[in-house]
Structure 1
Amino acid sequence: MRSGSPLEVFSIFLKLGLTCFGGPIAHIGYFRDEFVVRRKWIDEHAYADLVGLCQFLPGPASSQVGFSIGLMRAGYLGALTAWIGFTLPSAAALILFAYGAGWLSGPFGAGLLHGLKLTAVAIVAQAVWGMVRSLCPDRARASIAVAAAIIILLSATSVAQIAAIMLGALAGLWLCRSEAAAPSGHVAIPVSRRVGLMALALFVMLLAGLPLLRGLTGSTGLALFDAFYRSGALVFGGGHVVLPLLREAFVGPGWLSDDAFLAGYGAAQAVPGPLFTFAAYLGTIVAPQPHGIIGAILGLLGIFLPGMLVLLAALPLWDSFRKRAGAQAMMRGINAAVVGVLGAALYDPVWTSTVHGPKDFAVALVGFLLLVAWRAPPLVVVAFSAGAGVVMTLP
């Protein structure tokens, strides 16, 4: 990957933060289109390896992928600007919603949001289409992908995604050793092992130390930060899994009502960017001080920080690991499993929660055609689908 500037990274991720609807799986599709297909900042196999790594780690996988791409492009400042650009739009929207903005209500708003969700169907379908062709070219890897999809579809547990990827790694070690292709080139990770160890130590220290400091000081600010940090540190399997953790941390002690919690969670589904920005809404309306803008900032830092620290700890080992023969076989299996996970997510929740009839399917189909056949930018598909969603609400 050629070096770039933090400003370049920020501008691209800000655009993605404004247009990436549909949750973490859809975001991975948007990122693939932007950085693998269009800009060629990273090749398909390295990107799939990176996605597989982030799926293993606690925290928001799509934000970790974006953070890594920014890091590889423009160093630590690039990683920070990638995170800010991708997170800022949805965080700002949810803070406005917390203060009572009603722009998400009414028939027009409902139609607009439904059209934006249809964009995710087209984006995820395009990602599945492209990744199947490049990452599942033979019977063994196609079978691993289908098996992973079946595991996800038939299991209701939050660990199914991790289990599918682990089984994909084992199956790859068994079935994919005969493949000759190695990862293409060196992927520069500007993180030393010393920095990785420091990040891991800080992750553990905060996880163990925040509850102790909270008890000793009685600080409500530390209590809020600890609640967000612990939720971000313990979530595996995607952004939606954080819901029960946050509900227990905030509704349980009476810091806000269940109705307010669920209203914010519904709004978080409707805005672009990472689902973890739900923390900005919670930090704004939570009862204990500090709340408002300061609470929102505490929430965002607390919930994203643990996943980024774990990622920094893992990245120094990633490139050397992926070039070993056994690791290559495992990563082929993991890549195929990731395709299966993406395919399962295309059905549930992306398809089942969005496509409710022939009109919805027609809009998603046109969006898919624009992306795959006409190579239209995702922003064009977002505009088309949003407009179509509004038109479908007209009497």
Structure 2
Amino acid sequence: MASEPPRGRGSATRPAARYEPLQREPVDDGWVGDDEPAPALRTEVTPETPRSLLVRNDSPDVPFTLSINPYRGCEHGCAYCFARPAHAYVGLSPGLDFESRLYVKTGAAAVLRRELAARNYRPSPVALGINTDAYQPVEREWGVTRELLEVLAESAHPVSIVTKSALVERDLDLLGPMGRAGLAQVAVSLTTLDRGLSRRLEPRAAAPQRRLETIRRLTAAGVPVSVLVAPLIPVLTDGETEALLEAAAAAGAVSADYVLLRLPREVAGLFEEWLKTHEPLKAEHVLARLREAHGGRVYDSSFGQRMRGTGAWADLLGQRFVLARRRSGLDRWSGDLDVSQFRPPARPRSADDSQLDLF
């Protein structure tokens, strides 16, 4: 059995980033006894000032062209997170570093204001918190997501959010009016209804039942809510598909979609390590299903295949989901947001700018 992760963390190890010239392995030197607990792993947050904020996307299999990520790394610590490999670009591990050494984009609201006010800007719905959750626990202290929403609300700019955090309810005063005006929608990520499994898979995320309550509160405030069954994990969670959609529909969700488990780069090894620790009897079955859906590999990054997989089992899974979605009434909303209401925000004025606005 692999080693247990630190309490409240999804990964048990800190594998070196793929660009690093050295690899490190822990060695028992006899100084620490087996019964001596390891020191608590604390979250470190490093501020960084972005020069630009809006990320433009041209991938053919994602439904947005603009996105914003207020944070790098994610304290939720989900064992399966496809964003983990991005930490290699800053020389950090996709394992424990990804969930404990975070970066926050301070001053992001001012940068967004400048970009939206640019004369050549053309509005398109912004996806907020796609790579890592915009409402992860450190948002309570830093409030960057809140500041960005204030700029978007002021500009009547459409926004979509994907989260597994109940903290999104804090911003109902902004999201409610925007949702009723066709300017905002929230997708709540729901992986399983099993609290024990969720605690192991997503150690610092809201419990499944709490996420269902978040769907209810968002819906009551006038925000269209979709449920995103992501990731859908073979053997571990695919049997819950119908129950997940029924629960989401009962809570007020209006649409649903799914993403098959993605294991790019270092995530494959990290998730296999998680399986051997928490689900050793199912580990090989899970990996075999993934190989079946990805042409013999545990992951295929090709556009059009990375989200769904191919082959008989993947096709059957897709058919099951479509049927369950229809039966649950979660095919009622197109997901379209209104870009016609956009009005550029006031352009930020520099300290030495004495030129007055004409109007």
Q: TM-score range by the shorter chain?
A: under 0.3
Whose strand fraction is larger, Structure 1's or Structure 2's? 2
Whose helix fraction is larger, Structure 1's or Structure 2's? 1
Query: What is the TM-score when the length of structure 1 is the normalising length?
Result: 0.24
Larger RCO (CA under 8 A, 6+ residues apart): 1
